Structure formats: C-alpha cells, structure tokens
Amino acid sequence: MKTYLRLLSFAKPIEKFAIPYILFTLLYVLFSSAVFTLLIPLLNTLFKNIDTDAAKAVVAVPKSHWDLVGWYDYYMDYFIRYHGEWGALQFVCTTIIVTIFLGNLFRYLSARTMENLRVHTLLNLRRSVFNNVMDLHMGYFNNERKGDIISKVASDVQVVQFSVTATLQVIFKEPVQLIVFLIMLFALSTKLTLFSLLVVPIAGFIISRIVKRLKAQAIAAQQTYGNMISYLDESLQGIKIIKAFNATTFIKDRFDNENRRYSKIMRSMAKRQQSASPVSEVLAVTMISFIVLYGGYLILNHQSGSLKGAQFISYIAIFSQIMRPAKAISDSFSNIHAGLAAGERVLNLIDEKPQIVDRPGAQTISTFDDKLEFRDVIFSYPGRVVLKGINLTIAKGKTVALVGPSGGGKSTMMDLIPRFIEPEGGEICIDGKNIQSVTMDSLRALMGTVNQESILFNDTIFNNIAFGKQDVTMEQVEAAARIANAHNFICEKEEGYQTNIGDRGSKLSGGQRQRICIARAVLNNPPIMLLDEATSALDTESEKLVQEALNNLMQNRTSLIIAHRLSTIQNADLIVVLDQGEIAEQGTHQELMAHNGVYRRLIDMQTFN
C-alpha cells in the first residue's frame, strides 16, 4: 500500500480528474443498473402478468421530483390506462433506449477522464525518473547497466501508469456497481441473495490462488527484460569489435539465452493471467445454475414470497452482471502485482540520491580572475587510494599538462574540477573560493571540456555545436567552426550545417567529430579548458588541424591537459607528473628533462598513457 500511495502521488492534482470521474461513474452505474429494473414491467407487459387489483388502483403523482421509481410507476400506469399494453410496451422500450444511451454516454466520459489521468500520471512519473537520472553522480553510471536504466524509464513506467490508473477504476467503479447490484438483489429476494453469497468466497479463493505468484514473476520478467536491453545496447555500440573478433555467434547466443528466459517467464505469467478469465466464467455459470435451481425450487414450491416469474428473470439478469465487476476486481490483482513490482523499481531509481548536490546557501560564480588551486586533495575508490594529498596551483592563462603512467590519477584529478566527483579530503578553490561553496551550474559554465572520446548526438552539425545554448546565430556557430578548423569540411557536406551526423557522429570521420567537439567548446567561450588528449584519436593531417585549433582556443585561457603526445606536452607552461596518486615532479619540459627523474624516464620509454 505504501508503494501504491507513492505512485498515486504522481497523479496530483488528482482532484482535477477524480471529481468528474466519480460524478460520471455514479451516473453511469445509475443508468446502466436501471435497465435491469425495467425488465420487470417489460416482461409483465409482454406476458400480461399485471396484478388485476393493482391495475384498478390509480397510481398517485409522486410528492418528490427525485422519486424516480414513483414517477416511472406513475407514467407506466398512465400508459397502460390510456394507451393500452402496446402503448405501455412502447413507453418501456423507449425508456430502456434512453437509459442505455445515457449510461453509455457517462461511461464514455468517465473513460476519457481516466485516460487523461493516465497520461498525466505517465508524464509526471517519467519526468521525475528522467530528471533524477540526469542528476545522479557519474559513479552511478559506472556501476549500472544502461539497458536496465532504459528499461525502467521506458517499460516499467508504462506498466506502472496502466496498473495504477486501472486500479483506481477498480477501487471505485466496480465496488459501486457491486453495491448497487447487491441492493437490487436484496430488494428482489433476500433469501435467494443470501444463498448466492455463500458461493462467492469460494470463487474468490480460487482466483487468489491463481494470481498468487504473479508479483515474483513480474519482478523476474522486468529484470530479464532490462538485461536484454543492456545486451542490445552493448551490441549496437560494439558492433565493429564484435565482427572483428568473430564474436557474432557468442553475442547472438547470449541475447538468445536471455530472450528465452524472458519468454519462459512471460508464458508462465500469461498462463496464470489468462486462466483467471475462463475460471471466473466457469464459476459464474456454475453459480447462476445453482441460483436458478434454488430459485426455481422456491417458486415451484410457492416458497418464494413475493418473487414472481418476471422478477426472477430480472434477478438472474442482475446476478449475471454482478459477476462482471467481481471478475474485474479479481483480474486487477494480477495487474496490480505487476504494476507494484515495476513501481518499486521505478521508485528505487527516483529515490537514488545524487551524491553531489549544491550545498545550502551555495553562491553563483561568474568570473575566473586569479588561480585554480588543489589543496591537500585526497580521493579514493573502494580498496585503492587514487590521489594522496595533491597540492597544485594553476595561474590564470597558463597551460598545464598532466602526464604519468596509467592509473596515476590524471583523469580523477580532472574530474574533480567540474565536480563530477568529490574529494574525500582537502579542497579545490577558484580565486580562493572552495568550489563546493558555489553552484555546480555556475562552476561548469566557467569550463569547456573536450574529451578523448568525441561525444556527439544524433542531430545536425549546427545543433551539436550549439548544444545546450539558446538563441545561437549561424554566424556564431560558423565563427566557432572556423576556429576549430571545421568550417571547410562542413561546407563540403550537401546540407552544410544542417547535415545530420548520425548516431554518435557515425557519418563523420574521427578528426571531423573531434573538431565539432572543439567548435562546441569554442562557442561556449569558457575561461578554463579541460582537455583529455583531444588529438589522440586523430590521423596526422587531422591532428595538425585540430592542434592548431586548440592552440587558438587555449590562448588567454587557463588549460589543463591530460597529455599523451610529446608535441602537446612540450608547449605547456607547466608539466605535472603524477605517479601512484602523487605529484612526483613538476616544471617545464627542459627543467624536467634536466632533472632526470620520472618524466625523463617516460620520455625515453614513450609510455605516456
């Protein structure tokens, strides 16, 4: 119930939908139920089974305008007296048609209201899930399968909104119908209704046994589906490697095994879900048969009291309808089990708290005027210390290259600056302000990032360069592309800046992708540049073009570069050598070569990683 109520909170403001839904549903139940009471005068009229004594008495005009039964009896009496049985039959049939029309009109309106609630709930739930995923720290995505996250955002949310809103219908509409039908049944025959209710718990017990294991199966199905999506995502990303290593058969078998497991679970769930309806129908027919036997016995033996033939037929018709809401309630248990299982997974993702958030009272920072400092910075992963008391000052306008063996802490050190991760000790300051005391948005607005991997989106070249910015002009984008040495190859494309670059920029070469990324950083015009060896994936010709663009970009900016190539390192104002999480040495290229330490050894061995 706790999970269900939390999921229901995403339907707020629920009263906007609940009030009209309740009103339309009550009117639907009223008119749809009234049809069955009209069977009695219809049958009496058809078979001329009108009480002669009652026919002599004139039905008085009802005292209240809301006495619907009284008014119906009054007009029925009127038509029989003045228009005969044929006129009365016309009156009854017309009333039935009008009643059915009104009932179905309000049924449609209630269904439309519920559909609006369903869409509204889906909107809020999916928005909350996606927003929280975007706010999560980078470490979360290193530990989770992307396919599992996609499954929760896409598939699980869909299951939740259908099951939750469908349950709302069952909670209100079906019980109201049950109550109305029961009142009508008791009004016709108390003895017969009490007898019929004896067999209802038996039917409920049988149905509950069928759906008992559905929740566990639903959880297993969702997990398996998430694995399949993960395998699909990994296979599409690594298709070139898969083919190069002749691993196609292995990948096919891995996906097929998970697919078979998912299919097996779904068949088992379907077997239980689909068996509920036939079992319910068999039970309903069996119950009606027993009621016909018992009711017929009472009538034949003159023990039925005031229950006449027409009333008995109407009673059977009403009782056959009472099984419909009862069945809907029993069937909803299977849906709610699946919905709650999916809901728990979705809520767990929503409850996943970002480890890196703006602190209360965080201030906005808009300029970088002096220096960037690392003060006794410590960082570690489980079981391994990565950075051990880093102290470093980077003056404004200087270019600093980070070099060292693989695993020395270069990428970790760079990721600390935009607060992708947080230090365990020490602090990082910009112009003397601890970066944890300023808002992340304003901090990251001071920085441009170009990674070794070109991160592009399936969109046009223009939109990739202008990514994250509003009201960017073509002139601004072209100027950024010229600085990044990208304008010429863009103009050679058939659609120029409106060319779609495909998934992850697959329609461009590696050098072209990297120059688009650099143009994006140029357009951002940040005072601090973070470069993770932006030229390492390029051929010699492209590297020359990109390096020239980077040199232009880094002029009058503070740049921190993870450098792998000697040509990049030699031009740096300061070279920082990281080894086993510590600054082993720092200085210019000439100073470090003369020092004959770790840097000199790395140069001789060409082992920059």
pLDDT, tens digit, for every residue of 450-482? 877 777 888 899 998 988 888 889 999 999 898
Element holding 530 (H helix, E strand): strand 528-532
Q: What is the pLDDT of residue 477?
A: 92
Residue 525 has pLDDT above 80, yes or no: yes
Residue 273 has pLDDT above 70, yes or no: no
Q: What is the pLDDT of residue 173?
A: 77
Q: What is the pLDDT of residue 373?
A: 95
Q: What is the pLDDT of residue 413?
A: 92
Q: What is the pLDDT of residue 474?
A: 93
What's the whole-number mean pLDDT along residues 105-109?
91
Q: Which of 316-325, 346-355, 361-370, 536-545 has the highest mean pLDDT?
A: 361-370
Residue 122 has pLDDT above 50, yes or no: yes
Residue 129 has pLDDT above 70, yes or no: yes
Q: How many CB atoms lie within 10 A of CB 297?
A: 11
Q: What is the pLDDT of residue 372?
A: 94
Residue 4 has pLDDT above 60, yes or no: yes
Residue 231 has pLDDT above 70, yes or no: yes
Mean pLDDT for the chain?
79
- More reliable by pLDDT, 97 or 209: 97
Radius of gyration of the chain (CA): 37
What's the whole-number mean pLDDT along residues 278-290?
72
Q: What is the pLDDT of residue 391?
A: 95
C-alpha to C-alpha distance for 365 and 167, rounded to whole angstroms: 49
Residue 595 has pLDDT above 70, yes or no: yes
Residue 606 has pLDDT above 70, yes or no: no
- Any residues with CB less than 8 A from the CB of 573 and at least 6 apart, and which? 398, 399, 400, 588
Q: What is the pLDDT of residue 47?
A: 60
Structure confidence at residue 241 as a pLDDT band (50, 70, 90): low
Q: Note the Cα 194 to chain centre separation in Å.
A: 47
Residue 576 has pLDDT above 90, yes or no: yes
What's the whole-number mean pLDDT along residues 252-280?
78
Burial of 557 (0-12, 13-18, 19+ CB in 10 A): middle
Residue 379 has pLDDT above 90, yes or no: no
Q: Which of 125, 132, 127 is nearest to 159 (CA)?
A: 125
Q: What is the pLDDT of residue 53?
A: 46
Q: Is 544 helix (H, G, I), strand (E, B) or coil?
A: helix
Written in H, E and C, the secondary structure of 190-239 is: HHHHHHHHCCHHHHHHHHHHHCCCHHHHHHHHHHHHHHHHHHHHHHHHCH
pLDDT tens profile 185-208: 787 777 777 877 776 666 666 666
Burial of 468 (0-12, 13-18, 19+ CB in 10 A): exposed
pLDDT tens profile 410-452: 888 998 999 988 898 999 999 999 999 999 889 988 988 887 7
pTM listed for this prediction: 0.66
Structure confidence at residue 539 as a pLDDT band (50, 70, 90): low
- More reliable by pLDDT, 292 or 520: 520
If you count DSSP H runs as helices and E runs as strands, how many of each does the chain have, helices first? 24, 10
Q: What is the pLDDT of residue 578?
A: 92
Structure confidence at residue 220 as a pLDDT band (50, 70, 90): confident
Poorest-pLDDT segment among 106-110, 334-338, 485-489 = 334-338
What's the whole-number mean pLDDT along residues 102-120?
87
What's the whole-number mean pLDDT along residues 87-103?
81
Answer for the pair 499, 460: CB distance below 8 angstroms, yes or no.
yes
Structure confidence at residue 275 as a pLDDT band (50, 70, 90): low
Residue 338 has pLDDT above 70, yes or no: no
Residue 566 has pLDDT above 60, yes or no: yes
| All domains in the chain, ordered by first residue | 16-135 (no CATH), 153-355 (1.20.1560.10), 371-605 (3.40.50.300)
Burial of 572 (0-12, 13-18, 19+ CB in 10 A): buried
Residue 52 has pLDDT above 50, yes or no: no
